[in-house]
């Protein structure tokens, strides 16, 4: 799993929610969603507890607003595909 992937959490209190991976260190990935988990303080998560769903261009700069925009665009495009 590399930086700037979009993942769905598969375990824990955020199960089923969409996040952006901002980094990786050792046996942890760091995820943000721009709301509860802010870009200034990413959440460390075991990579076994997240599922890759898409790779996206990194938001520049990495702000909560930009993270929310990326996740919304991905959710909108996913919703559209499911409707057709």
Task: Give residue-wise pLDDT tens across range 56-81.
Answer: 888 889 999 999 999 998 888 766 45
CATH at 63? 2.30.30
Higher pLDDT, 36 or 76: 36
- At residue 4, the pLDDT reads 79
How many domains in the chain? 1
Question: What's the pLDDT band for 26 if we cut at 50, 70, 90?
Answer: very high
How far is it, in rounded angstroms, from Cα 67 to Cα 82? 23
Domain that holds residue 9: 5-83
Nearest partner of 78 among 45, 58, 56, judged by Cα = 56
Q: Do 38 and 32 meet the contact criterion of CB atoms below 8 Å apart?
A: yes
Secondary structure in 3-state letters for 8-58: EECCCCCCCCEEEEEEEECCEEEEECCCCCCCCCCEEECHHHEEEEEECCC
Question: What's the pLDDT band for 17 if we cut at 50, 70, 90?
Answer: very high
């Amino acid at each position: 799993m590399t930086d700037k992937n979009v993942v769905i959490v598969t375990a824990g209190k955020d199960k089923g929610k969409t996040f952006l991976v901002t980094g990786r260190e050792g046996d942890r990935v760091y995820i943000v969603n721009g709301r509860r988990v802010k870009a200034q303080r990413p959440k460390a998560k075991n990579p076994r507890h997240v599922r890759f769903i898409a790779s996206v261009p990194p938001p520049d700069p990495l702000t909560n607003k930009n993270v929310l925009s990326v996740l919304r665009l991905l959710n909108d495009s996913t919703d559209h595909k499911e409707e057709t």
